[in-house]
Every structure is written in structure tokens, then in C-alpha cells.
Amino acid sequence: MKKIITSLVAAAAIALPALSYPLKDNQFNTMHSLGCMLLRECTDGVFKVKSITSVSSEYPDIDYSIVADEFNSMLIALEQVGVGVFLADSKYFAVGQRGVYHTVGNNFFLNKEYMGSTAFLMQVMRHEGWHAAQDCMAGTIDNSLIAIIKPEDEVPVIWRVLAERTYSESVVPWEAEAGWAGRTEKMTMEALQVCASDTPMWKVYEPTPLTREYLVKEGYITK
């Protein structure tokens, strides 16, 4: 989820409060606890996901084999570009929040409360993974900016409408395509594999005019 977005790319930073650790009981499920987790100050109940087994071991009654290949492929690509994936206790998230990607730390976090469903797991993994791919599209994953990957007119209307109902107007273009990717098999996996390859994202995904302008200005694309 992105909080601050310009007309082209976002310094995808959540306004994080000053932290004092350990947190008090009334500070959980707030922006304070979310920030503490994102900054890796709060690590109790936060575990690095190394494969689908890291998730399935927490839910022994759920069969994750049907999603293992796509999940592990995304995880491998994310690892190659330096993005960590963590399964975290629900106490750190805002109420109802299933996952979050933090471009500054290049980590994303899955809310353990919801990952006992293969459908929710893959939806969140694809959605937040798409934000990591958007990070790549903005020149390099090492900055804190993100760029739209798909032209807005290619995003199915249903995902645009859902994004408009869920997010503030400023982030709708980024969230609409992430919502689409979150519910489309292998869409995020393929984007992340490009991100992890030696081929720049913008040579596979035609950048929008504003994104191209930015990439040229910053020297990522030479005329």
C-alpha cells in the first residue's frame, strides 16, 4: 500500500511516528505498531518467509501445494532483487490490513491472520509483489519511488472501480493495477522475473509517457 504518490512516481513512505520499543498494549493495530514493524524495530512474531513451507508450517490443516510453484517463483525473484517477505503477527497491522510493501526498506509483510487461506495468501502476495515490480519500473528498486507498469486504459474497469472505493484518489492508478495483478495468476510472477533479470522493466513493459519522461530525465533511458 502506498501513501504518498505524485503524478508519476511515489516516494512510497508511510508517515511513521517516532518509535519507542517495546510497544504498549494500546499501541498495537495502529500506525505506530505498523511503523515499528516496517522499520524492523518490532520483530517479535515476525518471521522471514523462505519458501511456501514457511507459511504452510503455520497452518498444518491447509494444503498449499496448489499454489506452491507460483508462490516460490515470486519469492525467488523477490530474493534476487533484495526484497524480503515476512509473515507477521496481526497485532502490527491496521485493522483489516492484509499486507504491506515498504519501498524504503524493500520488505513486505503478510498478515498472519489472513494467510490461512490459499486464496488470500496469493492475492496479497501478488498485490504486494506488484508494488515491488512498480518499484523496479521507477528505474531501480533501490530508490523509494514507484511507477505505473500498465497503461491505465488497459486496467479492467472493475479493478479501477474497486480501487476508487478503497483508496484515496491520489493512489488509485497504482492500486488499481495492483488489485488486477492480485487476482491474476502469474501476472506478478512474470513482472518480478523481469525485475530480477538483466533486462530493464521498461524494455518489456512499455512505459507510460510520464514514466518515460522520468526515466529519460534520470538517465535510465538514453535517447
Q: What is the 3-state secondary structure (H, E, C) of 161-185?
A: HHHHHHCCHHHHHHHHHHHHHHCCC
Instruction: Please check whether residue 7 lies inside any domain of the structure.
Output: no
Instruction: Please check whether residue 63 lies inside any domain of the structure.
Output: yes
The pTM for the full model equals 0.90
24 band by pLDDT with thresholds 50, 70 and 90 = confident
* pLDDT number for residue 8: 46
Instruction: Please check whether residue 195 lies inside any domain of the structure.
Output: yes
* pLDDT number for residue 221: 95
Q: Which residue has the cell 535510465?
A: 220
**In 143-154, which positions are buried (b, 16+ CB within 10 angstroms) versus exposed (e)?**
ebbbbbbbeeee
Structural domains in the chain (count): 1
* pLDDT number for residue 9: 46
For all residues of the chain together, what is the average pLDDT? 91
pLDDT at 13 over 60: no
Instruction: Please check whether residue 5 lies inside any domain of the structure.
Output: no
Domain around 74? 46-217
Instruction: Please check whether residue 207 lies inside any domain of the structure.
Output: yes
What's the average model confidence in pLDDT over 17-31? 76
Provide the CB-side half-sphere exposure for 150 (13 A, CA). 22
Which residues have a Cβ under 8 Å from the Cβ of 25 and sit 6 or more positions away? none
Instruction: Please check whether residue 15 lies inside any domain of the structure.
Output: no
* pLDDT number for residue 204: 97
% of the chain surpassing 90 pLDDT: 86
Here the cell at position 202 is: 521498461
Instruction: Please check whether residue 14 lies inside any domain of the structure.
Output: no
Instruction: Please check whether residue 165 lies inside any domain of the structure.
Output: yes
Q: State the Cα–Cα distance between residues 50 and 151, nearest whole angstrom.
A: 33
What's the average model confidence in pLDDT over 205-210? 94
- The one-letter code for the residue type at 169 is E
